[in-house]
Amino acid sequence: MTTTEELLGPILRDVSRAFYLTLRVLPKEVRQSIGLLYLLARTTDTIADTNLIPADKRILKLRQFRDRVRSEGAPMPDFSHLVREQKNNAEKTLLLHSSEIIALLEKTPAFDRGQIQLTLETITRGQEQDLERFGDGSVLKSLQTTEELDDYTYRVAGCVGEFWTHLTRHHCFPEANLDDSRFLTLAIRFGKALQLVNILRDLPGDLEQGRCYLPLGDLTMVGLTPESLREETSWTKFEPIFQNWMNLANQYLADAWQYTLMIPHEHYRLRLACAWPILMGKRTLHLLHASSNPLEPRTKRKISRREIRGIVWSTTWRVPFRGPWNRLFGNK
């Protein structure tokens, strides 16, 4: 039987070293529940991304898994076919341990369990909508409007900011005098920021998979189509559109930094756990901005482990000090 320590330790670490780093610094009051949501969401992400299985069958498995998360009486879906199709051993291991992840959920206290179930419901409906839009990827399709992109980023990431905030507010600083409406607004933008960074970073790969998340309306304004973005020579026309979305991602990251400033000062661990993905996202945008052509698949778009270590060090020594911490985002 796999232990909680193994699920939240090597199994989670192998599917995401970056998130594992964040998880380890989180306060113990919320560490397990946040890690558990990540495991569940990464499981559904693996289901949704298994391209060798038809989209309609992936949608069915998502619905079955969502039902199982929501209700102890629902049957556990059979993932054996999905397991056989995994090329990534870490994701195969994750699917093999999905029943134990569900068992851990059922032992989770009621407040946390309810928040996890609600958030996973939103995430899986976003993933399902994604599969319905793009199908098996054999034909390149795009989102149509800015509103569709905003809705997508909320469903798969903004809602996680809400979850994170409800959980930490409940367990870590329930008595703090905060503007909760603004805190939640910034939390949603925090999640959307990270998803926008991913979309901009992964654009060439997504195009190859038949998906364009940038709205068709933006492209047609400059005489482009999703198909033309597969040509690196389209960059000159596309650059203003790409820069507009970079600017929005930067603004959302700045809002996310304001979120860290609203966390009561003494909660060092929580502020570090928020700061690391924000600064990694900002560094990723810097790499894209410095690139001569982000449509080129060979463009450097992932930050190095050395850069991650630098972010960890620069934040860790600053976190006790208000002035250096407040200035940190502007220095990156």
| pLDDT score recorded for residue 331 | 57
- Pair 184, 165: CB distance under 8 Å: yes
Q: What's the average model confidence in pLDDT over 9-24?
A: 95
Each residue of 162-214: pLDDT tens digit? 999 999 999 999 999 999 999 999 999 999 999 999 999 999 999 999 999 99
Q: Does domain 137-332 have CATH number 3.30.70.260?
A: no
Confidence category of residue 237, pLDDT binned at 50, 70, 90:
very high
Q: Does residue 19 surpass a pLDDT of 60?
A: yes
- Pair 317, 260: CB distance under 8 Å: no
Closest by Cα among 109, 113, 118, 143 to 129: 143
Q: What is the mean pLDDT of the chain?
A: 95
Longest dimension (CA), the chain: 57
| pLDDT score recorded for residue 300 | 76
Q: Where are the chain's structural domains?
A: 1-109, 137-332
Each residue of 283-305: pLDDT tens digit? 999 999 999 999 998 877 889 99
Closest by Cα among 38, 36, 61, 35 to 48: 61
pTM, whole model, 2 decimals?
0.95
How far apart are the C-alpha atoms of 41 and 47, rounded to whole Å? Answer: 10
| pLDDT score recorded for residue 330 | 80
How far apart are the C-alpha atoms of 183 and 57, rounded to whole Å? Answer: 39
Give the residue carrying structure tokens 């090329």. Answer: 87
| pLDDT score recorded for residue 298 | 84
Q: Two tokens at 202?
A: 């992964």
